[in-house]
């Protein structure tokens, strides 16, 4: 059995309890060294075989894992954040299917959740935005034309951009062409939840300048949308006049004291 485990966004105590247990029991760990906090590996057994996949091809990663699994070893493939986002796990799972090897996935805290925590933001505010668009600028990996930033920007929903910090000029152009104004609130969150985390609030029109001034070129998320600075409607769920499955409506307002 091979486990794909989400390591969380950075801080070593943001892995799940299940993920931590799997790491402690593993005989082999292949971790994504570019973004996984190496302190997590302190949980591994002394004789655990550890490989950094940053130095390996898919073929090498799979050969290590398949061989170990066939020897009856417990294998963990440790991915940054949650493996379902830009994690390249599908090609590994398909490979294991072809080899008839069983696997499971343990979710992780994605960096977009780490960024919301750093910003103390709620991505979905009533009357402002009820959707989060998670996307990226095209890099070496192309983005389908129908998913252009420009087309998403037209929705004016909350947007979180991965893998795009090096392309802020083009990103800004796309956001503006899609319908965001220059003064739409934006933020750059660098290394969310790591000890050297940085949060920079700015606007769509000042994204590039803000990154340049703070020397941020990678390992950051760009958050765009009015949720960062806007009036909103209070929730119905917690409104005294709103009945739920768990609580009747109360007509009078209850004083805080
Ligand atoms: N699966 C990961 C994303 C991997 S793609 C997840 O769920 O978070 C790598 C990109 O994620 C980086 O280029 C950066 O845009 C973003 N990223 C990963 N960790 C980050 C962090 N701690 N703070 C800000 N951005 C991060």
Dihedral of alpha carbons 116, 19, 24, 94, sign: negative
Does 41 have pLDDT greater than 50? Answer: yes
Provide the token pair at 77: 């493939």
Q: How do residues 151-174 score in pLDDT, each as one tens digit?
A: 999 999 999 999 999 999 999 999
Binding-site residues, ligand 1, Cβ < 6 A: 9-10, 35, 80-82, 85-87, 110-111, 114-115, 162-163, 189, 191-194, 218-221
Q: Determine the residue of 8, 82, 110, 111 to mutate for testing ligand 1's pocket, defined as the one with the most ligand atoms within 8 A of the Cβ atom.
A: 111
Residue 64: predicted pLDDT: 98
Does 220 have pLDDT greater than 90? Answer: yes
Residue 140: predicted pLDDT: 87
Alpha-carbon distance 204 to 212, whole Å? 14
Residue nearest atom 13 of ligand 1, based on CA coordinates: 163
Q: Determine the residue of 214, 221, 223 to mutate for testing ligand 1's pocket, defined as the one with the most ligand atoms within 8 A of the Cβ atom.
A: 221
H/E stretch holding 52: strand 49-52
Q: How do residues 79-113 score in pLDDT, each as one tens digit?
A: 999 999 999 999 999 999 999 999 999 999 999 99
134 contacts: CB under 8 Å, gap ≥ 6: 85, 112, 160, 162
Residue nearest atom 9 of ligand 1, based on CA coordinates: 163
Output the average pLDDT for the chain: 95
Half-sphere exposure of 122 (CA within 13 A, CB side): 13
206 contacts: CB under 8 Å, gap ≥ 6: 186
């Amino acid at each position: 059995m091979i486990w794909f485990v989400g390591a969380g966004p950075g801080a070593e105590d943001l892995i799940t309890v299940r993920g931590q247990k799997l790491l402690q029991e593993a005989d082999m760990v292949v971790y994504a060294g570019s973004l996984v906090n190496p302190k997590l590996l302190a949980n591994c057994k002394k004789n655990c075989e550890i490989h950094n996949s940053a130095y390996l091809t898919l073929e090498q990663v799979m050969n290590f894992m398949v061989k170990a699994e066939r020897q009856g070893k417990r294998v963990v493939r440790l991915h940054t954040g949650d493996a379902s986002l830009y994690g390249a796990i599908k090609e590994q799972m398909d490979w294991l299917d072809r080899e008839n090897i069983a696997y499971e996935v343990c979710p992780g805290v994605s960096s977009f959740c780490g960024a919301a925590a750093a910003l103390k933001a709620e991505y979905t505010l009533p009357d402002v935005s009820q959707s989060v668009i998670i996307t990226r600028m095209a890099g070496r990996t192309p983005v389908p034309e129908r998913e252009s930033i420009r087309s998403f920007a037209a929705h004016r929903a909350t947007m979180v951009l991965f893998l795009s910090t090096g392309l802020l000029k083009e990103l800004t152009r796309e956001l503006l062409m899609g319908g965001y104004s220059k003064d739409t609130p934006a933020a750059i969150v660098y290394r969310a939840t790591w000890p050297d985390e940085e949060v920079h609030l700015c606007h769509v029109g000042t994204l590039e300048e803000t990154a340049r001034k703070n020397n941020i070129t990678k390992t950051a998320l760009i958050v765009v949308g009015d949720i960062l600075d806007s009036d909103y409607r209070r929730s119905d769920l917690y409104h005294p006049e709103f009945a739920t499955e768990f609580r009747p409506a109360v007509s009078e307002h209850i004083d805080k004291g």
